[in-house]
Amino acid sequence: MKDKQRFSLRFYFTLVVMAEITFSIIIALLLLWLFNSMGNDRVLLPLTLWQIMLSILIGGTITTFLSRWFFAPITKLSRAMSQVASGDFKVRLETDSSISEIQELYSNFNLMAGELGTTEILQTDFVSNVSHEFKTPISAIEGYATLLQDERCKPGERRQYTDKILLNTRRLSELVGNILLLSRLDNQSIQGKKSLFRLDEQIRQAIVLLEPKWSEKDIEFDVELESLEYTGSEALLFHVWSNLIGNAVKFNSSGGYVGVRLERKKGGVRVQVDDNGPGIPEESLEHIFDKFYQSDSSHKSEGNGLGLALVKRILDLSGGSICAENLSGGGCRFTVFLPM
């Protein structure tokens, strides 16, 4: 749809008032001229008084019709707001008006209705997802807590059961956070605040924060990061790097290798995360970005299948892309491209 020329509401209002006054005077004069030309002797009132009376009558009539046309968009908006107040968040407004304020008002209303509608979607999505995924960690916590109540439980076993409870509690907390963030990103169109930050430093921070995990497995890192400033959602992009690098560590074997590259490319930047782990089964490559999909069942207790779905959604919102491939020498590579 082609953009229409937009005019200010004040401009239209001025034109309407000027037109109303002009037409009222012209029509009043024409009617007086007709009375006088007909030689009607009963017209005894002064000409000025006749003109005022006729102008008021004609002006009132014109105002009635013009007000209906002029305030029709406001009336339409009022009805739509009543629908939203009654719980109908699907209502949307369209207008052919060239008045800039009306176009902006309708656009903001549609955005507001859409954002309010996502509240119900967030709740539905959250309940449907967690109802299944919460069962495993909750059942595990309940089971180990029951074992702890056994008076015959040995100190070593108590320590083991306590560790299992803490592990599943952390998993539950991570699951809630990931589901809420993914649901918000899936259903909301308002983007987070963008800022200028050092992308290479952010990736280094992600590596440092994961140090306990890669140190435990004695993972060797090969990092080549070009010094680069980027404008985007700093908080959301940190999820991308921490998840990709964390997966490279998690699915790698002890003494393995992880490579991270950041370089400037035409039109944007490219980030590559490599590992020399077992790789991704070919039949799973097209599903790894689906919610709750886990190709490696041996690590099912360490994740919830939401990490890569989050990564994909964040990059989609950022205008970027991600792809995964297996390397010929073993392991896999995730390649991220972000536009600049």
Answer for the pair 303, 232: CB distance below 8 angstroms, yes or no: no
How far, in Å, CA of 327 to CA of 274, rounded? 9
Nearest to 300 by CA among 132, 180, 130, 137: 137
Query: DSSP 3-state assignment of 117?
Result: helix
- Listed by start position, the domains of the chain span 9-113, 134-187, 195-339
Cα 22 to the center of its chain, rounded Å: 51
Nearest to 97 by CA among 63, 71, 78: 71
Answer for the pair 209, 242: CB distance below 8 angstroms, yes or no: yes
| Per-residue confidence (pLDDT) for residue 171, from 0 to 100 | 73
Place of tokens 């080549």: 224
pLDDT per residue of the chain (340 residues) written in tens, 0 to 9:
344 455 555 556 666 666 666 666 676 667 666 666 665 544 444 556 555 666 666 666 666 665 666 667 777 888 888 887 777 778 888 877 666 777 788 888 888 887 777 666 656 655 665 565 677 678 888 888 888 888 888 888 888 888 888 888 877 777 777 667 766 676 655 456 788 999 999 999 999 988 888 999 999 999 999 999 999 888 888 889 988 999 999 888 888 999 999 999 988 999 999 999 888 888 778 778 776 555 544 444 444 467 788 888 888 888 899 999 998 878 899 999 999 8
Tell me the helix, strand and coil percentages in the chain, rounded to 5: 60, 15, 25
| Per-residue confidence (pLDDT) for residue 223, from 0 to 100 | 93
Reading the block at residue 339, the tokens are 């536009």
Cα 8 to the center of its chain, rounded Å: 31
The neighbour count for residue 326, using CB atoms within 10 Å, is 15
Nearest to 55 by CA among 47, 44, 66, 43: 47
Q: At what angle do helices 307-317 and 155-187 cross, to 10 degrees?
A: 30
Number of H helices, E strands in the chain: 10, 7
Reading the block at residue 167, the tokens are 């592990």
DSSP code, position 194: P
Q: Which residues sit opposite 99 in a β-bridge? A: 7
How far, in Å, CA of 179 to CA of 187, rounded? 12
Query: DSSP 3-state assignment of 321?
Result: strand
Answer for the pair 258, 222: CB distance below 8 angstroms, yes or no: yes
| Per-residue confidence (pLDDT) for residue 268, from 0 to 100 | 92
How far, in Å, CA of 202 to CA of 42, rounded? 92
Answer for the pair 333, 277: CB distance below 8 angstroms, yes or no: no
Please give the angle made by the CA atoms of 241, 295 and 128, to the nearest 5 degrees.
Answer: 85
How far, in Å, CA of 134 to CA of 283, rounded? 27
CATH class of this structure's domain 195-339: alpha beta
Place of tokens 């006729």: 54
